[in-house]
Copies of this chain bind each other. A is one copy, B any other.
Amino acid sequence: MTGKATASAAANIAFIKYWGIRDEERILPVNPSISMTLSACQSRCTVELLAQSAESEVLLLDQDGGLVPAPERFAAGVFAQVRRLSERIGESAPMRVAAHNNFPTGAGLASSAAGFSALTVATLGAFGHDADPTELSVMARMSGSGSAARSVFGGYVEWPAGPHDSAGHAVQLAPPEYWALCNVIAIVDPSPKSVSSREGHRAAPSSPYYERRQEELPGRLEIVRKAIAARDLELLGPVIEKDAVELHLVAMSSEPPIFYWQAGTLAVLEAARRLRAAGTSVYCTIDAGPNVHLICAPRDENKVATELESLEHVLYVIRDRVGGAPTLEAEHLF
């Protein structure tokens, strides 16, 4: 038993997003999703097993690099996932967990996907338990952040849907080195969103347009798979932007309506259309939050980032790229 392990895992950006949950108990999605795992937006997590008499605790890295107790709700989510992992591997112990995201949390940047991937890998590492990526994906999914099932793979990843076991884990479509795509993230509001993704999933079927989007998805998923296989941004871009907008159309027409979009969201969408009109190949996608992800080739990254930085509504820009699977690290958070 190792006793202490630290893992690093990246967020991912979905090209076709899961929106609507089929089975909230088992965390099975209504529709398949395809994402690109990132590299700059990272969650780190250290897990240390304690003596059986000790009390478990969850800490967060604060701005000065010190460790502070995590808010109760955050800690409860961590302990719930640790319990599921313990049951699955048949080992348990009190533990000290420390976590840190180097990017905004709860703002539609898949921080829970990154965080639960890192927690899962670090916990197994602390118990000295080996797991292959498929098994890791199953375990990360169980956290309740379904998209965590994708973040345990690097590169381009699909999470199938359905009531069957195939929906229980994601699969890699292509490794990161297969296609060097950039994700320039325009941060218009880094604060945690007021409506969680979980609530959004629950409300989705109340939109009159929910089923129609589901009908559109098989064709869109097929285009995204082909575009990744062919490394074809012109094929990928229009369909991911269209589908992202329509996910928000479903949210805004849910009962009650959910507006993740803010003024800045529209300003960035408009900037992307301007960039395209001027010949730059760049396409937007938006997770459940106000911030906008602009997908482009490395040669256009600077131009896109500079344009976004010039917008009044954009607080700052994160330059991210396709990245690899979670890793165990030598340096711990405590």
Contact = CB atoms under 8 A, between A and B. Distances in A.
Most chain B CB within 10 A, of A253, A264, A265, is at: A253
Nearest to A249: B249
Interface in A164-210: 208-209
Contact of A249 (B209, B216, B259, B264): B209
Contacts of A259: 266, 269-270, 273
Interface residues of A, number: 25
Number of copies: 2
A313 B322 CA distance: 36
A125 B56 CA distance: 86
A94 interface: no
Contacts of A22: none
B261 A252 contact: no
A41 to B, nearest CB: 25
Interface of A: 208-209, 212-213, 215-216, 242, 245-246, 249, 252-253, 257, 259, 261-267, 269-270, 273, 313
B270 A262 contact: yes
Q: Which of A216, A259, A263 has the most CB of B within 10 A?
A: A263
24 contacts: A208-B212, A208-B213, A208-B215, A208-B246, A209-B212, A212-B212, A242-B253, A242-B257, A245-B252, A245-B257, A249-B249, A249-B252, A259-B270, A259-B273, A262-B266, A262-B270, A263-B263, A263-B264, A263-B266, A263-B267, A263-B270, A263-B313, A265-B266, A266-B266
A209 B265 CA distance: 22
Nearest to A265: B266
Given A245-B257, A249-B252, A259-B270, 14 more contacts: A208-B212, A208-B213, A208-B246, A209-B209, A242-B253, A245-B252, A245-B253, A249-B253, A259-B266, A259-B269, A262-B270, A263-B266, A263-B313, A266-B266
